Amino acid sequence: MHIAFLTTEYPCKASVKTGGIGTTIRNQAALLLQSKVKVSVLLWTKHAFDDYEEDGVSIYCVTQANGGGVLSILRQQRDLGRKVSALCREHSIDLVETNDWEGNTAFAGIDVPVVLRFGGANLLFGKLLNKKVPLALGILERLAVHRADAYVGVSEQSYNVSERIFHFNKSKPSTIIYNPVDLDRVASFCGKARPGKRIVFYGTLVEKKGVLLIPKVFNEVVRRHPDATLTMIGKDTNYMGGSMKAHIEAMFSSEARARVRIISHLAYDDLLRAVANHDICLLPSYAETFGLVLLEGMALKKAVVCSDIEPFMEIARDGIDCIHCHSGDSAAFTKAVLEVIEVPGRYLSLAEEASKRAFVKFAPRKLAQQHIDFYNQVLEKCRKS
């Protein structure tokens, strides 16, 4: 079997940007390769590069056509479909998987079966955050969903919300498979769990991640524990016409500000190494489709304090593997962080149980086999139709 991932981001030397989608694809590719599945990445980019192989994955450049406007989007996507279909014929690719974000395959017309992964559509986050999505963007995402051949939800929430938004054809193959995480790679950075007061947040500095709540929490923690520290790791974004990083920095008290570091985006291994050097993961997100950051923190044997959004609750049990707090409730988050710091044995109990839970519920080989079984189901269904 030869599977290709069509994406605009992937963590490799040819990519100028990457995020959660790219990290997920890399993890999935690594697990499929271990299961003897051939894997390619079709990187749709404006920056041309020569095709090459990296870590066993063939990476092919699919250049984006220039231009803007509705007609240009149509032309770009049809051009994408032609190039991807040609690569599929040339390299005997059986199936293409892509994501729902921005509806890039709405007009592509790819010649092999397309599996669409529900994990980050603008319409999905618009629903979760009660925000409007531009009409044209919503139409593209809806068309891409309806023209796909099969669907994968990365969590029960992402699947159920996507079903309500898109009303996709249930006669097509569909399932829920959690995003795979290379837990062995994550755990290789893990040391012995030890109680401490080093707090870390990691993720894009954007409002939906709950970053505006973090200064309120840390200001109170520092009042009780002046030796506590906070590190925030993530790419800066625009906020109210300025920098989100600058806005966050202005929210800290003078006492707290001296104990805070904000670091820009790190390469994945450097990120894991940095998180491993902290004690408490603070993750107050308002909306996620999966809990990658939560799962990484659990695998690294950290005490995790996170919001009570559905994907996080699917992954970790409140009071056993983590402490859940209501989204936006800074007092609850403050209380939880102080509990981890001050209650004897609390840190070690959470950290140890979190690590066990991560490796049992998200065993990489099990998730890899679930993907392979589903791909075979899709191929069999498409052969018969």
Q: What CATH code is carried by the domain that includes residue 241?
A: 3.40.50.2000
Residue 257 has pLDDT above 90, yes or no: yes
Domain that holds residue 16: 2-180+363-384
Give the chain's largest Cα–Cα span. 67
Q: Span 18-42, mean pLDDT?
A: 90
Does one domain contain both 86 and 156? Answer: yes
Number of independent structural domains in the chain: 2
Does one domain contain both 265 and 151? Answer: no
Q: Span 318-338, mean pLDDT?
A: 97
Q: Span 291-314, mean pLDDT?
A: 94
Does one domain contain both 10 and 151? Answer: yes
Please state, for a pLDDT cut of 90, what percent of the chain lies above it. 71
Q: pLDDT band at residue 114, thresholds of 50, 70 and 90?
A: very high
Does one domain contain both 160 and 290? Answer: no
Does one domain contain both 357 and 370? Answer: no
Does one domain contain both 302 and 367? Answer: no
Does one domain contain both 280 and 373? Answer: no
Does one domain contain both 192 and 157? Answer: no
Does one domain contain both 233 and 268? Answer: yes
The predicted structure's pLDDT at residue 69: 63
* Dihedrals phi, psi of 145, to nearest 5 degrees: -65, -50
The predicted structure's pLDDT at residue 68: 63
Does one domain contain both 21 and 147? Answer: yes
Does one domain contain both 202 and 301? Answer: yes
Weakest-pLDDT range from 118-122, 205-209, 255-259: 118-122
Q: Span 231-247, mean pLDDT?
A: 95
Does one domain contain both 319 and 232? Answer: yes
Greater model confidence, 86 or 136: 86
Q: pLDDT band at residue 17, thresholds of 50, 70 and 90?
A: low
Q: pLDDT band at residue 20, thresholds of 50, 70 and 90?
A: confident
